[in-house]
């Protein structure tokens, strides 16, 4: 049955007294500028570490195996991926104990892979508030998302594309609850850590990297303080570990590794300067960091990831300076981070990054930049696509089509049924043997609220008045789409603004298609004024990132997809005007759920090649828009 009450727009207000207890949610910033919440169990783990050492490192793999590559540095408030060096900001956010995270309620939407993705926490709180107040629907536009959540059908609908996805509400562990005043900033004070550090392999890797960074940074500082002259007067080397790990005997200058597996990493040259890390195959064997035997060095103080300038270096009078030969360190290629070499990938990545920050000449493998465009191509090398006569399509300014009478459209695609099934109409959620939920909203002389019809091809049954209401809420182009199975009746058209589409063959190959040339597609849409078919008629819309370049392999399958894309362009289905999921900008030209490959020579963002399933996937997406292979003309 339908939920009582009326729908609601998201309210941005509502706070609570700072003296109250509050729920803590830790979040990380993704590439789209959205703060994504960690799970409740992970947040409990972070809070426990924060209590013991407010400047320490949180190893996420201890509580969630899927987060094994990640650590959080609490002082710099960044998440660090150990195998690639990627860093992302994190934040500590606070919510009312009666909100969704305080009750352990999680709202999720179904993605294209069939799995479930949690909403951002702000959205989750707003959705739960509306759900508890028994609103039938919730408009998320004030939070920057062009979606309407329908609680009766447990679905979300894109306001521009009208695409519908399932949503669900589930119970999970409640997020941690704290009391007291909220910190003014998140640069936490130094905490005390009197406990013994964990001896798991991942903890030891983090600890070992810190000790290595201590030694490297101290050598650099020593060179600045004392120059390049002087002699060594003592041969012992002492590396005192960070105060963060006081109370452990993991690192000892007098301990050597005897037996077991040994994985060594050496940095040296010239006069024998060397940093050696042994016993990487933890956790059984202890490890030792050895500095050049000519020198003695003591490092004291707090040292953490990406924290330059925090070390206190103590040098006694009987220590000599470092000859320049000991600092002639050759470039260390830290490569094959995902391979099966003798050097642990996480240790290689973290140590290489720390060495690079210290100014040492390190060749560190890092994520390459995406190759978006092919090498320059002369106009004479641009060739028409075989089997396609033209090289461009243009769409001029079109006013909204005056579709046929809504009653005629609905009756054209539906059939009368004699016996009503004992089920709900999935549009209004009322029983089919009762009046439509739109009885008091729409009035049509020839369609009574009790009339029911069955769609011809798919056989789904609805109130005819509900189908009329759905049609009036769409593009009114004479087509009808089944809200259950998405089957399209008639020719669906979109609201794409005017522009042009060009396509050529260029003499370069895509990764994974080395035997063929490439079809280059260029879309160009200028900014303009919205018409009656757009969200805000009369208001300007922007067109960012145009012209947009896309690529297909020049083979039989690629040319077939190009023909479908041309048909979709002619029907104005490639783009629409809405809210950008990347920047959050409203009233701008955005893709309309037909994915394109915009990376020419790489696949770092997921929008490039190789991708053996892309041509099949985009064919299915086009079919979902009513552009199937039956539309191709020989």
What pLDDT band is residue 84 in, cutting at 50, 70 and 90?
confident
C-alpha span between 107 and 245 (Å, rounded): 39
As a whole-number percent, the residues of the chain with pLDDT over 70 amount to 65
Residue 239: is its pLDDT beyond 90?
A: no
Q: What is the pLDDT of residue 484?
A: 87
Closest C-alpha to 26, from 175, 183, 128? 175
Residue 568: is its pLDDT beyond 90?
A: yes
Specify the higher pLDDT residue, 175 or 161: 175
Angle at 614 between CA 613 and CA 615, to 5 degrees: 100
Residue 389: is its pLDDT beyond 60?
A: yes
Helix then strand then coil, in percent of the chain rounded to 5, is 20, 25, 55
Specify the higher pLDDT residue, 77 or 333: 77
C-alpha span between 577 and 591 (Å, rounded): 9
pLDDT tens per residue across span 173-200 = 889 988 765 554 343 333 334 344 455 5
> Which of 198-208 are b and which e, b meaning 16 or more Cβ less than 10 Å from the residue's Cβ?
eeeebbbbbbb
What pLDDT band is residue 554 in, cutting at 50, 70 and 90?
very high
**Which of the 8 DSSP states describes residue 207?**
H
Q: What is the pLDDT of residue 184?
A: 43
Q: What is the pLDDT of residue 532?
A: 87
- Mean pLDDT (whole number) for 538-567: 95
Q: What is the pLDDT of residue 333?
A: 42
- Mean pLDDT (whole number) for 416-427: 87
Among the ranges given (268-282, 415-429, 542-556), the one the predictor scored with the smallest mean pLDDT: 268-282
Specify the higher pLDDT residue, 229 or 153: 153
Q: What is the pLDDT of residue 584?
A: 81
As a whole-number percent, the residues of the chain with pLDDT over 90 amount to 32
What pLDDT band is residue 224 in, cutting at 50, 70 and 90?
low
Mean pLDDT comparison of 20-34, 240-254, 489-503, highest-scoring range = 489-503
C-alpha span between 583 and 298 (Å, rounded): 49
- Sign of the Cα pseudo-torsion (580, 583, 586, 588, in order): negative
Return all residues near 371 (Cβ < 8 A) that are at least 6 apart. 599, 600, 601, 602, 608
Q: What is the pLDDT of residue 16?
A: 44
The structural domains of the chain, with segments of one domain joined by +, span 21-179, 406-489, 493-631
Q: What is the pLDDT of residue 342?
A: 41
Among the ranges given (398-412, 434-448, 496-510), the one the predictor scored with the smallest mean pLDDT: 398-412
Mean per-residue pLDDT over the chain, rounded: 74
- Mean pLDDT (whole number) for 543-572: 95
C-alpha span between 380 and 184 (Å, rounded): 63
Residues making up the chain, counted from first to last: 634
**Which of the 8 DSSP states describes residue 566?**
H
- Sign of the Cα pseudo-torsion (128, 129, 132, 135, in order): negative
Among the ranges given (176-185, 318-327, 427-436, 542-551), the one the predictor scored with the smallest mean pLDDT: 318-327
Q: What is the pLDDT of residue 225?
A: 61
Q: What is the 3-state secondary structure (H, E, C) of 410-460?
A: HHHHEEECCCCCCCECCCCCCECCCCCCCCCCCCECCECCCCEEEECCCCC
Please say whether the structural domain 21-179 has been given the CATH code 3.40.718.10.
Answer: no
Cβ neighbours around 500 below 10 Å, total: 16
Q: What is the pLDDT of residue 504?
A: 95
Specify the higher pLDDT residue, 366 or 336: 366
Contact status, residue 29 vs residue 87, Cβ threshold 8 Å? no
| Tokens read off for 450 | 């009790």
Q: What is the pLDDT of residue 340?
A: 40
pLDDT tens per residue across span 268-295 = 444 444 334 444 333 333 333 333 433 3
Closest C-alpha to 12, from 141, 119, 131? 141
C-alpha span between 591 and 580 (Å, rounded): 9
Which CATH number is associated with domain 406-489? Answer: 3.30.40.10
Residue 610: is its pLDDT beyond 50?
A: yes
Q: pTM, whole model, 2 decimals?
A: 0.47
- Mean pLDDT (whole number) for 423-443: 85
Closest C-alpha to 329, from 269, 276, 266? 269
- Mean pLDDT (whole number) for 109-132: 89
Residue 38: is its pLDDT beyond 60?
A: yes
| Tokens read off for 341 | 């070499």
What pLDDT band is residue 361 in, cutting at 50, 70 and 90?
low
Which CATH number is associated with domain 493-631? Answer: 3.30.390.130
Closest C-alpha to 90, from 24, 140, 144? 24
Bridge partners (DSSP) of residue 265 are: 277
Q: What is the pLDDT of residue 143?
A: 78
Report the C-alpha dihedral over residues 441, 446, 452, 457, rounded to 10 degrees: -110
C-alpha span between 466 and 432 (Å, rounded): 11
C-alpha span between 604 and 599 (Å, rounded): 8
pLDDT tens per residue across span 209-221 = 444 445 555 555 5
Tell me the angle at which helices 345-357 and 201-226 cross, rounded to the nearest 10 degrees.
Answer: 20
Q: How far is CA 302 from CA 55, 308, 312, in A?
A: 9, 11, 8
| Tokens read off for 131 | 């759900």
């Amino acid at each position: 049955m339908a939920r009582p009450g009326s729908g609601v727009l998201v309210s941005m207000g509502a706070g609570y007294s700072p003296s109250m207890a509050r729920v803590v949610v830790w979040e990380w910033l993704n590439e789209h500028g959205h703060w994504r919440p960690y799970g409740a169990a992970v947040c409990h783990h972070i809070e426990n570490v924060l209590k013991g050492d407010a400047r320490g490192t949180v190893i996420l793999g201890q509580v969630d195996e899927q987060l094994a590559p990640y650590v959080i540095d609490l002082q710099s408030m960044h998440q660090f991926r150990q195998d690639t060096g990627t860093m992302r900001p994190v934040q500590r956010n606070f919510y009312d104990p009666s909100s969704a995270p305080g009750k352990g309620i999680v709202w999720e939407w179904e993605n294209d892979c069939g799995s479930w993705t949690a909403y951002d926490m702000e959205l989750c709180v707003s959705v739960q508030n509306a759900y508890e107040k028994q609103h039938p629907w919730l408009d998320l536009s004030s939070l920057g998302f062009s979606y309407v959540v329908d609680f009766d059908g447990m679905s979300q609908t894109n306001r521009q594309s009208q695409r519908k996805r399932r949503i669900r509400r589930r119970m999970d562990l409640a997020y941690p609850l704290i009391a007291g005043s909220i910190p003014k900033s998140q640069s936490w004070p130094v905490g005390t850590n009197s406990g013994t550090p964990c001896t798991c392999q991942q903890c030891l890797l983090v600890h070992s990297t810190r000790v290595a960074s201590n030694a490297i940074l101290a050598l650099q500082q020593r060179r600045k303080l004392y120059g390049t002259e002087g002699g060594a007067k003592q041969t012992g080397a002492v590396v005192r570990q960070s105060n963060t790990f006081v109370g452990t005997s993991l690192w000892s200058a007098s301990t050597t590794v005897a037996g077991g597996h040994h994985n060594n990493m050496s940095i040296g040259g010239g006069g024998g300067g060397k940093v050696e890390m042994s016993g990487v195959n933890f956790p059984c064997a202890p490890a030792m960091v050895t500095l050049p035997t000519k020198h003695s060095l003591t490092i004291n103080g707090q040292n953490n990831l990406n924290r330059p300038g925090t070390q206190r270096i103590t040098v006694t009078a009987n220590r000599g300076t470092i000859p320049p030969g000991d600092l002639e360190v050759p470039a260390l290629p830290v490569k094959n981070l995902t391979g099966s070499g003798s050097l642990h990938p996480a240790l290689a990545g973290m140590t290489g990054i720390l060495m690079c920050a210290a100014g040492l000449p390190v060749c560190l493998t890092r994520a390459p930049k995406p190759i978006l465009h092919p090498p320059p191509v002369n106009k004479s090398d641009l060739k028409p696509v075989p089997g396609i006569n033209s090289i461009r399509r243009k769409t001029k300014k079109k006013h909204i089509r005056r579709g046929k009478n809504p009653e005629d459209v609905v009756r054209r695609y539906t059939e009368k049924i004699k016996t009503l099934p004992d089920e709900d109409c999935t549009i209004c959620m009322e029983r089919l043997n009762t009046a439509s939920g739109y009885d008091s909203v729409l009035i049509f002389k020839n369609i009574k609220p009790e009339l029911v019809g069955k769609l011809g091809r798919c056989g789904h049954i609805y109130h005819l008045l509900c189908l009329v209401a759905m049609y009036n809420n769409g593009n009114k182009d004479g087509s009808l789409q089944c809200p259950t199975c998405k089957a399209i009746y008639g020719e669906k058209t979109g609201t794409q603004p005017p522009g042009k589409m060009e396509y050529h063959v260029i003499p370069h190959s895509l990764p994974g298609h080395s035997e063929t040339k490439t079809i280059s597609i260029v879309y160009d849409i200028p900014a303009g004024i919205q018409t009656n078919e757009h969200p805000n008629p009369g208001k300007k819309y922007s067109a960012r990132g145009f012209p947009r370049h896309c690529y297909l392999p020049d083979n039989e399958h690629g040319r077939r997809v190009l023909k479908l894309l041309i048909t979709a362009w002619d029907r104005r289905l490639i783009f629409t005007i809405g809210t950008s999921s990347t920047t959050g900008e409203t009233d701008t030209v955005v893709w309309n759920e037909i994915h394109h490959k915009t990376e020419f020579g790489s696949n770092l963002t997921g929008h490039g090649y190789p991708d053996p399933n892309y041509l099949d996937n985009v064919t299915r997406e086009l079919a979902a828009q009513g552009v199937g292979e039956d539309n191709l003309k020989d």
